[in-house]
Every structure is written in structure tokens, then in C-alpha cells.
Amino acid sequence: MATLHVKVEDSLFAIDKVLLSENCEYFHALFESGMRECQQEEIHLLGLSARGFDIMLKVLGGERPALDCDEIIEAVECAAFLQVKSLVKHLINLVNSNNCIEMYHAASTYGLLDLYHRCALFIRDMYSDLKEALECLPVDLLDYIDSLIPSTFIAVGAYSPTFVQDSLRSVCYLDEDSKTWKTLTDLPAEASTALAGVTVLDNKLYIVGGVYGVSKQAVELSFCYDPERNTWSHFSSPQQLRYNLTLMGHNGYLYAIGGEYDRRIISSVERYHVSTDTWSFVSPLPRPAAGAACAQAMGRMFVCLWKPIDTTDIYEYDPDRDQWLLITTLIRPQSYGHYMVAHRDNLYVMRNGPSDDFLRCMIDCFNITTLQLTVMAGQYVNSKGALFTSAVKGDSVFTVNRMLTLVYSVEEKMWKPKKEMQGYRWCGSLLTCFLRLPKTSSDDLSTDCIIHTGQQEPEDIKT
């Protein structure tokens, strides 16, 4: 192994040259240049902090260090100077309400455009909470935030083509100004959201699987809604047809996880490559699971697998190694139901209480950095499954049922009710997420929606 000694300030680091070449564009270009420095055993880097360089090396080694604001500035400087994509990705995963403004300003100063944009989107979603703190930013940075579109809470009922009137088969969005739900688009005639997997990837809504008919026949078509164009399109379905699956969007891919087929619970997992419109099998779940709770935290994928009667295993999927890793096991009494959301580096696992109090919902908080488990204070009323439709935006958790839409603020050891809005009209199961809608979405868009029937550019068909 060829080792390079890199001196930064008064510190000397011994590093594998291959590691640097593969992960730092600066060193890759240096080693390929044929310059005198590429033959040296020691290089002195000027203008960087030793602490920022050490953070970079930890990230390259697979660590995910938590950083204070001073460390973030030095890490941003190092990522920009050495062009380290993995460090930029780690910084993006660290964005939160405590550091987003400083990180946004630093990313602007050093020209890290991906981090700059992600910080701006985060700030846009939390604009009302951060408004006073934003006064320190230059006008051009404020203007860029104002030019972006905030995330909007989306809900869709569990609709089957067989039993529900077309007039009710709609995707709706929450207008937070009027505190009411409005129609965004109608579902395609062949689409079913009953026992389907629904998720968002790159600001597009994906529907995979589902059932129709009393015999639970699997839907063979998959659907994608693009809010920018207000269009639906078909895309390839998984090789294994499935319903009651978990669908996740992660790093440019869709993952169809477990589910059922022909009334049999399955463990297979498939990954969808959007650019090639193809599915491929990856490592299966450790055991068969249908409707498994899932969440993403700090750029990582987590799934809950329940093992009767009271055991919940939390697994992480590592795409690089194609492995499922057991993270922790919870032993908790429950009557039914599982759900999980993530905020910062915390996973919140929700379950209904014992059978004599099943409308009460207990929440456990598991921190993926410290690996510590905390039982959340108090009990949360889970009337008609509202907490099982939770979705997180910034430091807020959005929940909805037929009676009301309730927003919680996430605090250290509890969720505190923040505001209430109109409930959703559908009385059955709900699927919720967030989309960034074009500004014209303040009006009903459903009458203008078109559907594409393939990956090509077909003739538009009015729905």
C-alpha cells in the first residue's frame, strides 16, 4: 500500500494514496498530472485546518461524525478545496435547524452548490420558524431562498378501482394558508392505492403494487406523478408482483421491500433504476414482512420487522454492501400497528398500546448515533390511525385523520402539539408524504392533469 504523508498546519497525516485518489478530485488530479508532487512522499497543504482535514479522513473511513458549527465551517472549506463528494454528502445529512443558516452561508462562500441548494430548501421549509435568524444573511442568499418552493403535505386514500367512484379517487394537498385540503390530481383509472407502496423520489410521487377486487388481485402497473408537469406516467413494475409492500426512495433509487403475493408474505427486495427503467433483486429481508415500517435518517435506510408477540427488530440496509444489519431490538407490548418516522438522527417507532387501550399510541425514540433508546414522555392519542400517517418537515411532524390535521413540534423528549387544521375527508387508510408543488397549485389542478402511458413522449391523454 502506497502511503502519502500530508501535513496540514502542524499535524502530519499518513494516508493511503488510493483512498485519496478515489475520493478526492484534488488528489486524483494531482496524481495523474505527472507533476513533481505526485512523486513525493510528503505534501504540505496550505490554507486548510487540520481539524477539517481530520473530519474528511473520518468520513472517508466510514465514520459519520457529529459536528458543531465551527467544525462544519472547516469541513465545508476542506470539502470545497479538495472536492470530496462523500464529505459533501455527509454535510447534507447533518443539515438541521441549529446549523442550516451557518452551513448555507459557508456553502455559498466556498461554492458547494449541492450543499447550498439543500440548505436553502431546508430553510424554505422552516421559513416561519427561522425568519428572525435569517436577517443576518446577505440579500442574494435571501432571494434564493424566496425563489424556492416549500414542501406541501400530501394525502391519498386507499382507493381500489373496483369499489370507489372516480370522483373520490384523488390525491390531495394541504393548503396551510386556508388550513384546508384541496384536490391536486385524480388517480389514473387503473391505479390502486389499496395495499400499494407509495413514496416520493426526486419530487415525484410513485405508486407500486396494490390490489383490486375481493380476491386481492395484484395490480400489474406502476405509476409516477410529476407535479412540475402535472402528468401521470407508467413505468416498469417489479419482477415479483407484490402488494402490502414497503416502498422507499433513496439516493436516486426506488426500493420495493417485502409485501405479499397470492396471500403469501414474501421477503424479496427489488431496486428500481430510474434512468434505465429496470428493476433488479438485492439482498432479501432477514425474514418475510408485509407493510413493514420504514424511515430514512441521516441518509440511511431503516426498516422495522415485527416478530410476534412483542419483538421489534430495527434493521439498516447498506446499499454499498447490499446487506441488512440488525441495529437494535425493542421488546414492547402492543395490540397492533407499527409506524416509524425520522427526525435528525432519531428514529421514532410508534405502536398501539395493549388491547384494552389500543387507541393510545406509545412512541420510542432510538438515536442512531448514540444507539440509545428513550421512551417518549406520555401517551399520544392515535384516533383512527393519525399517528400512523406521520410525515416530518423540518422540526414538525404532520399527522392527519378525518377529524383534523394536527402538527407537532419535535422537542427533546416529546412531541408538542403546534397547530390544528381541517381533517381529511377520506375515512379509510391514508398514505402521506411531502411534495414541492408549482405555485399554480393553489387552484384545483385535477381538471388539467394528463397521463403518459410509457417512458417515451406519447400523445397526451386527458383524464
Q: What is the pLDDT averaged over residues 317-336?
A: 90
pLDDT of residue 137: 96
The β-bridge partners of 420 are 406
Q: Using CA atoms, how far apart are residues 76 and 91, in angstroms rounded to an integer? A: 8
Confidence of residue 448 (pLDDT cuts 50, 70, 90): very low
The cell for 430 is 391514508
Which residues, at least 6 apart from 164, have a Cβ–Cβ distance to it below 8 Å?
none
Co-location of 191 and 98 in the same domain? no
Confidence of residue 461 (pLDDT cuts 50, 70, 90): very low
Phi-psi category of 283—alpha, beta or left, where left has phi over 0 and alpha has psi -120 to 50?
beta
Co-location of 136 and 108 in the same domain? yes
Tell me which DSSP letter residue 210 carries: -
Q: Is 236 contained in some domain? A: yes
Q: How many domains does the chain have?
A: 2
DSSP assignment of 425-456 equals S--S-EEEEEEE--GGGGS--GGG-EEE-SSS
Co-location of 267 and 384 in the same domain? yes
The cell for 248 is 422507499
Q: What is the pLDDT averaged over residues 321-328?
A: 97
Q: Is 463 contained in some domain? A: no
Residues 390-404: b if buried by 16+ CB within 10 A, e if exposed? bbbbbbbbbbbbeee
Confidence of residue 166 (pLDDT cuts 50, 70, 90): low
Confidence of residue 162 (pLDDT cuts 50, 70, 90): low
* Least confident piece of the model among 145-159, 271-285, 321-335, 375-389: 375-389
Co-location of 114 and 178 in the same domain? no
Q: Using CA atoms, how far apart are residues 131 and 145, in angstroms rounded to an integer? A: 11
* Least confident piece of the model among 269-273, 308-312, 446-450: 446-450
Confidence of residue 167 (pLDDT cuts 50, 70, 90): low
Co-location of 62 and 116 in the same domain? yes
* Least confident piece of the model among 75-84, 110-119, 175-184, 381-390: 381-390
Q: Is 325 contained in some domain? A: yes
SS3 406: strand
Output the furthest CA–CA distance in the chain (Å, rounded).
76
Contact (CB, 8 A) for 25 and 82: yes
The cell for 48 is 486548510
The cell for 68 is 458543531
Q: Using CA atoms, how far apart are residues 191 and 243, in angstroms rounded to an integer? A: 13
SS3 338: coil
Q: Is 291 contained in some domain? A: yes
Co-location of 236 and 251 in the same domain? yes
Q: Using CA atoms, how far apart are residues 180 and 187, in angstroms rounded to an integer? A: 20
Q: Is 461 contained in some domain? A: no
pLDDT, mean over the chain: 90
pLDDT of residue 413: 84
pLDDT of residue 165: 58
Q: Is the pLDDT of residue 103 over 60?
A: yes
Co-location of 22 and 85 in the same domain? yes
Q: Is 310 contained in some domain? A: yes
pLDDT of residue 458: 34
Q: What is the pLDDT of residues 408-446, one digit of tens each?
A: 999 988 999 999 999 998 777 899 999 999 986 444 444
Asked which of 147, 176, 191 is the last residue of a domain, the reply is 147
pLDDT of residue 426: 79
Q: Is 460 contained in some domain? A: no
Give the residue among 398, 406, 418 at the shortest CA–CA distance from 153.
398
Co-location of 28 and 86 in the same domain? yes
Which has the higher per-residue pLDDT, 265 or 334? 265
Q: Is 166 contained in some domain? A: yes
Q: Using CA atoms, how far apart are residues 338 and 294, in angstroms rounded to an integer? A: 9
Asked which of 106, 123, 147 is the last residue of a domain, the reply is 147
Q: Which residue range(s) make up the domain with 96? A: 3-147
294: buried, middle or exposed (CB in 10 Å: 19+, 13-18, 0-12)?
buried
Co-location of 312 and 429 in the same domain? yes
Contact (CB, 8 A) for 417 and 408: yes
Q: Is the pLDDT of residue 252 over 80?
A: yes
Co-location of 387 and 245 in the same domain? yes
Co-location of 101 and 205 in the same domain? no
| CATH number of the domain that residue 296 is part of | 2.120.10.80
pLDDT of residue 37: 64
Co-location of 163 and 99 in the same domain? no
The cell for 111 is 461554492
| CATH number of the domain that residue 127 is part of | 3.30.710.10
Q: What is the pLDDT averaged over residues 217-245?
A: 96
Asked which of 125, 147, 169 is the last residue of a domain, the reply is 147
